[in-house]
A and B are shown apart, each in its own frame.
Chain A
Amino acid sequence: MGKTVSQLWLLVLVFLAMLAVAPSQETQSSGPADKPDSAPQTVSVSPDSPRWSLDGEAKPAEYQGRKCLLLNGGAATLKDFEMRDGVMDVDVASPAKRGFFGFDFRIDKDGLNYEEVYLRQHKSGLPDAMQYTPVFNTGRNWQIYNGPGFTGTVDIPKDVWFHLRLEVVGAQAKLYVKDMDKPALVMTDLKSGIQKGQVALYVLAGETYFSNFEVRETPEAPWQRHLPPMPPSTLTKWSISPSYDALARNLERPLAPSDSAAIPWQNVEAEPPGFVVLYRYREAPHPRVTFQSDFSTRLQPQPGMKVLYARTNIESDRDQVKKLEIGYSDEVSVFLNGKILYRGRSAQSFRDPGFLGIVNPENDAIYLPLKKGSNELMLAISELGGGWGFICRLEDYPEK
């Protein structure tokens, strides 16, 4: 009896070794798309497998008696494997007080765009303990994608192995933390639009250990986006300028007409519920922001900050005041018909040391003195990190 079991294990090991040697033929030539009727296959990848492509601080290790992968400002990407729908299982443990760790999935060919879900160790028990965000042009967008479907509360164990499972099904996904019966975070609408790509384990910061990694592809579900509604007052049609070094510009000044005429404006459209997500169109800056670690430096210029201009036209049938509800990240200047009306600063950690800078149209309103005819609304939007974008709604302000 004992002998039979050990022989079975030997067979499994041999099979896994074969998989490790010949993964590309296995997965790339005949994905589930080609063989929807094939039985689901579970692939486990050991910490020291050559199938892991390791970047940054990333190496096989042992932690609390387990063979595992250690990541700390690093990633382990599974080679020769692309996934549309599937289930990823892994055990994770972290002794770090502060850490960000999780899964990347549907990583595109150049590695710049993908989906990401992660835990914030230091936010255990708080509303942003878990985060889903798409990554566009290397930039995370958690300041834009926030709230139900994006963030959630969970108690994150410290220094103890616990289980994570990610189920990816079409344009939806579910993250399970510890409890495999009830998802901790339900992602109702995956934002990148990428339908298939590589998977990785990822740690932005904080020593984190991963073991017992398994992935299993599942049959493709229909692709159904669940976009939120777009309020009718949303300003949806915008043109955006190229991206500039923000420190080289006077952000209280609108673009001169000659500057404006020389620019190749790019037409873009807001996505529901009204966000213009600029990382979709422009490379994300990654400066080191001094006031994130030292609040007293918050008024110092931050080299590496980028700015772009966004403009739209507002037609008015008469001279009237309308209310512009605006959310922005990280900073904004609002110009109407070439005149500045407002400037707001909401970078992460700028308003208080723990300030997040979530983009939200209910925080600030500017009352626009529109003239009869066409009015040009221009925004200068600058960015340090966390999500570059804005949302604008134009509401009536009834003259009483």
Chain B
Amino acid sequence: MVKTVSQLSSPIVLFLAVLIVSLSQEAKALALRFDATAQSFSVPPDSPRWNLQGQARATEYQGRKCLLLKNGVAALNDFEMRDAVIDLDVATPANRAFYGIEFRVADNGANAEGIYLRQQKSGLPDAMQYTPILNTGLNWQIYNGPGFNGAIDIPKDVWFHLRLEVVGAQAKLYVKDTDKPALVMNDLKSGNQTGQVLLNAYAGEVYFSNFEIRTTPDVPWERHLPPMPAGTITKWSLSPSYDALTRNLERPLTSSESDAIHWQDVEAEGPGFVVINRYRESPHPRTLFGNDFYLQRMKPQTGMQVVYAQTSIESDRDQVKRLNIGYSDDVSVFLNGKILYRGRSAQYFRDPEFLGIISPENDTVYLPLKKGNNELMLAVSELGGGWGFICCLEGLT
């Protein structure tokens, strides 16, 4: 009954496989078209330009010719965009559905920008969502709040209009009202500057009609990253990704294990997130407790992955400092080889509707630092929705 956003994954993977083939064939044509000046065109539902995956077909709904997607994807062949305006009408009779537009889809679909509506969240703060797709993973547990999601009343069983304006590293989503944007994305996170366009729908049947796209002249590329608060721990090294069920997550890496690892240096992005999906393939297990909170949530979840992240903290004396930590989905915190804390915040884990948004204000671990160099190590595991953490170190007054 209750479908999770993370279940978007399997259709995405399916779609990727086919996209690999089509992309290689179209590469030449794409390169040619890309230099062309602004163009505007519409694509009818039965056009061979649509590459359909999953449950996806041309049909008729409420008197209109349209595309039906249900756990399906319709990707536009032979077309790449940087800046553009996408217009379409949508309608769904579903109580529960996730549907929207992916744009600047690159790397055979592994990396993209995505906006979607959550039909069942109509009127709630997360009715609309923007998230980058990184190594096949959605990141809504990390990218949340202004610029990423917002409240809107989503019509049911009625055609309504969506417009997406993509301009450099910014974008605007219009829902119903094309005068005032419903969601302003002031910093697109994937870094992709060009890529394909696709429509998608999961968990419920959704109809799309009157699809039009108009490319617009490139504007300067200006990122608007939020500031990095003082105290943010920005320099980290990441281990490879492991099957979490094969590891004792209450134990730190032994020094011999640690020595044998190829650690990858990464840097937190403003306001301090280390977004692990940027560096590691996103897992897509089927989470049991999404459907049965009380009986399933304590069971091992096959397919969960874990990465270790380490950093050094220099201290001029023995002292206690406050580590404000946000994480997704589970974390173990080790200081100088000793475990201090373990927290679990996967989607649905803390209550049946729990989101598991990463925020450094929820949990604080007090670190007994010794004078000199201290090693802080996290074991961060992931089921879905965004893999990462944020750490901020503050003195105690």
Contact = CB atoms under 8 A, between A and B. Distances in A.
Nearest to A252: B396
B161 to A, nearest CB: 25
Nearest to B355: A352
A126 B1 CA distance: 10
B339 A367 contact: yes
Given A356-B354, A362-B298, A367-B338, A351 B349 contact: no
B364 A358 contact: no
Contact of A352 (B298, B357, B363): B357
Given A339-B320, A352-B354, A353-B124, A367 B341 contact: yes
A342 B298 contact: no
A364 B340 contact: no
Given A339-B320, A344-B363, A364-B363, A351 B342 contact: no
B350 A363 contact: yes
B313 interface: no
A351 B293 contact: no
Identify the interface centre among B298, B342, B349: most chain A CB within 10 Å of its CB: B342
Given A126-B352, A364-B342, A365-B341, A350 B366 contact: no
A102 B34 CA distance: 63
Contacts of A362: 297-298, 344
A353 B125 contact: yes
A341 B351 CA distance: 25
B352 A342 contact: no
Given A295-B125, A342-B365, A350-B362, A360 B350 contact: yes
A60 B386 CA distance: 52
Contact of A358 (B350, B359, B396): B350
Nearest to B126: A353
Interface residues of B, number: 36
A373 interface: no
Interface of B, secondary structure class, is loop
Contacts of A353: 124-126
A147 B294 contact: yes
Interface of A, secondary structure class, is loop
B217 interface: no
Contacts of B126: 353
Given A344-B363, A346-B362, A148 B251 contact: no
A146 B365 CA distance: 28
Contacts of B345: 351, 363
A364 B298 contact: no
Nearest to B351: A356
Given A147-B294, A362-B298, A355 B366 contact: no
Identify the interface centre among A126, A128, A365: most chain B CB within 10 Å of its CB: A365
A355 B76 CA distance: 38
Nearest to A148: B294
Contact of A342 (B297, B353, B356, B363): B363
Interface of A: 126-128, 147-148, 252, 295, 298-299, 321, 323, 339-346, 350-358, 360, 362-367, 397, 400
12 contacts: A128-B352, A252-B396, A321-B338, A342-B340, A345-B363, A353-B124, A355-B351, A355-B354, A356-B351, A356-B354, A363-B350, A364-B341
Top 10 A-B residue pairs of the complex, sorted by shortest distance between their CB atoms:
A356-B351, A352-B355, A343-B364, A127-B352, A365-B342, A353-B125, A352-B357, A367-B339, A358-B351, A340-B366
